[in-house]
Each structure stands twice: as structure tokens, then as C-alpha cells.
Chain A
Amino acid sequence: MWMCSRHKCSIRIFIAQAFVDNVVVNGLSTNDIIEKNFITKRDDLTTYFSKRDHSVNQVHQSKVPQICKDEPCQLGVDEAGRGPVLGPMVYGIAYAPLSQKQLLEDLGCADSKTLTEEKRDAIFDKMCNNDDKLGWAFDSISPNYIANCMYQRTKTSLNEISMNSAIGLIRKTIEAGVFITEIYVDTVGKPEKYQAKLVNLFPGIKIVVAKKADSTYPIVSAASICAKVSRDHALRAWQFLEGENDKEYGSGYPNDPVTKVWLANSIDPVFGFPQLVRFSWSTAEKLLQSSAIAVEWEDPDEDESEIKISKFFAPSLSNKSVKKKHNFFTNRCLFNATTL
């Protein structure tokens, strides 16, 4: 299978771009400089996501308030956008001093699923206004990263991706100097197993992994709001590298009629979908099976095929006259070409 193109230069531009992104100034990369203190209000999320590379994960941490370095803090973890076929899955964390428990309730941090988008936005705004008392962070996991993980030769499940993201965010927060004494996590998979894993990784910190933690613990609700608001903005600010694309893609959930229409209208016969889509979702796979060009991959499990034992006893007819080629050629799939 060969693809050819004439515009060699665009590859060079891309390489140059990647290089600029990693310029190191006084030990901090340019990315770090932009990210530190970059998002101070909700509108900044739109700016942030519209300028980011959507094909890779994006982590952002708010500035750590001094009080969170001095006083013991609780930290909540939750995710948004696990089910949708479109857009990133976002992990969010929020932390605040144990002395500020009342603040979280005053902000209205409650079960995020009972909140409307407007209410979530309003609470996020209030969280930003209280950035001297609480902090937050998100990890926006790109749809392409999710598909890549699930299509690896050794597959990484969505639960593993989730846990790794949560663990990464907690680590980064501790490294940033936050004095964490309690961690509350909304579970993926079995809570007991997840809890044991976290206890092992973060000794000395009280860890609670529970189902529906976002409706039980206000700090998890805050994390959930942070994740959900970030995902909403990431989805809306999506820039298509694939060129012109309809922006009416609905919620991104497979059963949303708007999303269904968008998916059906966004098929490229060869490449499938723009990278807004999680290719590994069955909704996407089924659509490509029925409406795009067939693609066949080598099977990663396919090793030397088993030979039936009876074959060694049967008279071989086929191999009699065939001269066996040296391994050098068979290993390299080389053969004599006498015709085209």
C-alpha cells in the first residue's frame, strides 16, 4: 500500500514546529511557561484548547495557592467523557485545605450529574475566583491516544488509561508542593482493587475509592465539575487538521441523534474519520465496516501456524519437486521476479 504526495515541505514545517515547542528556556520549556497560570477564568479554556495539539494529551495545573502548601489538603479525582465516541476523556482533580470544607459546599459542589451545564460553568467560575484557597488540574486524554492504546499489539484498556491518568495527576500535584493528606476517587472497575493500588503508590495518605464518589464528597464534585467543563470546552474548541468539518456534532454520545448524523457525514473512504473520533469505539468501527474502504491488518496473534501431527506421516506430494529456497530469501520475502 503506497501513498504519495508532492508536498515534501509540509513535513519539514511540522518538524520545525515540534522543535520550537520544545525550546528550553532557563530549564522551563515554552509549554511550561504558557501553562503556568495560563487558565485563570473559564474563557481561557477555549483559548487553551483551540491552540493545542488535539492528537496528544494535554495536562494543565492551576497555580498552587500558598495555603495548600502549608495546610493539610484533601484531593478529589473524577473523570468526564468516558462513554462518548467523540472528543477527549478528561480527568480532573481538585484540592483544598481540610479547613476549607465549608467553602466547597458554599460553592455548590454537588453531584455533577444533577447540575446543568450553566450551573457547572458558574461553579467553575467561582472556583477560579477562589484560586487563593483551592487548586485544580486536568488531563485531557485525546481520542487518538485512546484509540492507539486500545489498538496496540498489547492492548491498554480504558480502565488502565483512566487509572494512569489519575495517578499522574496526583503525582504532579504532590510534586507541585501541595500537602495532601486525603484522596477521594470516583472508581473505575472494582473499588477495592483500585484502592489497594493507590494505597501502595501513595503510602501515608488516607485514600477512599468509592462508587459515585462525586455525589458523596464535595471535593470529588469539584474535580468532576473541572473535568466536565474542560471537556465541554475542548469539544467546542476542536480544530480539525483534516480541513473543513461540520461543527454540529452534539454531545458526542453514540446515541445522540446529532452525533449519529455527524458521524455518518464525516466518513473519509480511506482514512475513516477525523481524529475527533475514537476509532476504537464499536459505533465508529461498525460505521467504517459498512461505509468505508476495507482495511486488513496483520494479526498480532498470528504466529507460525500449527501443523497437524498427522501431516508428518502423510506422504507429501506437493513438496516433491519444489526446490526449497534458502532462509535468507524466505525471511526477506524475496523471490525471483521473472514476470511483473
Chain B
Amino acid sequence: MGKSGWGMGKGQTRSQNCRIAPPEFEWRACESVVHDVGVGKIFNEDGENLSETKNPVLHSMPCKIYADDNANVNTYFKSYIKNIDDENFKSSFRGYPLQGKKISVPKGYMGVTFFEYKKPETDETERNIYATGTFTEFTYWNYDKIPSKNDALISALDWVDIAEALHSTENETTSS
């Protein structure tokens, strides 16, 4: 059993099942997400094979779930999602109250889910990580807290604009 993960990146991810070389990912989100790549999982409902989900609907959970398997997201989770207001949602996971918000992948970036069958035992060996699907938005869930700029993942998106500004060439310099 391999491991699945996700990321948001800029650059070409070519076609399905391409190898993603690390340099193509200029930006990665917060630590908890990176951490979850190793611990948590991409859930795929209806028992389908992960690699067949081209446009996954993603839910970022505020807890670690020590599993790497399909889950009954549709019936056990999605069926209970309710609107709080125009942009926030609420639901529950194992009795815990959750509040969530849809987050769009920044313009110019692409969300990619990927899968690695087996991590090579030595660092020298090239790793084969396969893109299994792409996404443009996901639902970010907090434990009993409305998602806001105080959340690391949401504020991490600031970096996209800052990086843009830092790396852009000054074409309209103000003369002083």
C-alpha cells in the first residue's frame, strides 16, 4: 500500500501519471498539511481506486486520522454539512463540532493529488510520485472555530502574493 498526498504548485504537471519533480513545486502549504501527507490520507469515497479520481472534492480535516484507505465520506460526512452563512459551513466528525470554508487554489497555481506506491529506501534513488487528479478548491475544516486569517493554512496563501511581488521585475518604477 502506497501513500497519497496533495499539494498546490505552479509550473507544469504535464499529464496524468507524470512524475512530479520537486522543483516544479515552488510553494507548499503549512506544516500540518505536509505532515498529513505522511500520516493522514486522501479519502476516496465509494470504494473507488484513488488513481481514478480525476477531480476530487477535498476536505481538509483538523485532526490526524491514522489511516490510508477509502472512507464513506458521502454518507457519513457530506450528508450532514450545513450552511452557517454565505461562506461558512458546519459539520461534525466523531461528535466534534467543525466549521469549514471553501478555499480556492490561488490563481496561476494548480492543486494536485498524488500517489506514491513505494518510497525508495535510499535517498539516491529517484522517487516516482504520480499525479492522480487535480483540484481548484477544497473545504478547509476547523475544530470549533470559524476559519480565518489566524489559521496557518489560510494565511499561508499570503505568501503567493508576496512571492509574486518579490520575484516580479520592477517595470513601473517611480522616479524619485
Contact = CB atoms under 8 A, between A and B. Distances in A.
B10 interface: no
A176 to B, nearest CB: 27
A3 B59 contact: yes
A5 B36 contact: no
A2 B62 CA distance: 10
A153 to B, nearest CB: 5
A1 B39 CA distance: 8
Given A10-B74, A243-B75, A335-B31, A1 B65 contact: yes
A162 B70 CA distance: 38
B57 A340 contact: no
B103 to A, nearest CB: 12
A242 B72 contact: yes
Interface in B142-162: 143-145, 152-153, 155-156, 158-159
Please report whether the interface of chain A is mostly helix, strand, loop or mixed according to DSSP.
Answer: loop
A150 B158 CA distance: 35
Contacts of A8: 57
A2 B92 contact: no
Contacts of A278: 95
Given A10-B74, A242-B72, A331-B152, A1 B60 contact: yes
A4 B113 contact: yes
Interface in B12-27: 20, 22, 25, 27
A312 interface: no
Contacts of A335: 28, 31
B92 A5 contact: no
Contacts of A293: 65-67
A2 B30 contact: no
Nearest to B132: A4
> B58, B65, B71: which has the most chain A beta carbons within 10 Å?
B65
A284 B133 CA distance: 36
A144 B61 contact: no
Contacts, number: 197
Interface in A304-340: 328, 331-335, 337-340
Contacts of A269: 67, 69, 71
Nearest to B123: A339
A27 to B, nearest CB: 22
Contact of A280 (B69, B74, B95): B95
- Which of B44, B95, B113, B145 has the largest count of A CB atoms less than 10 A from its CB? B95
A2 B25 CA distance: 19
A190 interface: no
A195 B44 CA distance: 52
A331 B159 CA distance: 12
A160 interface: no
A8 B78 CA distance: 10
Interface of A: 1-8, 10-11, 14-15, 18, 55, 144, 147-148, 150-153, 241-243, 268-272, 274-275, 278-280, 284, 288, 293-298, 300, 328, 331-335, 337-340
The 5 A-B pairs at the shortest CB distance, nearest first, are namely A279-B95, A4-B56, A147-B95, A1-B40, A333-B30
Given A6-B53, A14-B81, 13 more contacts: A1-B40, A1-B60, A1-B63, A6-B57, A241-B75, A269-B71, A279-B95, A284-B95, A293-B67, A295-B63, A295-B65, A297-B63, A340-B20
